[in-house]
Amino acid sequence: MKLNKMTQINIFIEHLNDTANKKLDEIKVYNDAVKMTNFIIEQNEIFENSCLKLHKFNTISFDIVFTNNEEIQKINKEYRQKDTPTDVITFAIFADSPLEERFIIDGEINLGEIIVSLDKIETQATENNKEFIDELYYIISHGILHLLGFDHQSENDYNFMVNWQNKAKAEIL
Task: Give the per-residue pLDDT at 16.
Answer: 83
The SS3 of residue 94 is: coil
Q: Domain 8-172: give its CATH architecture.
A: 3-Layer(aba) Sandwich (3.40)
Asked whether residue 119 carries a pLDDT value surpassing 60, the answer given is: yes
- The 10s digit of each residue's pLDDT in 68-98 is 999 999 999 999 999 999 999 999 999 999 9
Task: Give the per-residue pLDDT at 107.
Answer: 94
13: which strand partners? 64
Asked whether residue 125 carries a pLDDT value surpassing 50, the answer given is: yes
Asked whether residue 161 carries a pLDDT value surpassing 80, the answer given is: yes
pLDDT confidence band for 1 (50 / 70 / 90) = very low
> For residue 145, which phi and psi values (nearest 5 degrees)?
-60, -40
Any idea where the domains of the chain sit in the sequence?
8-172
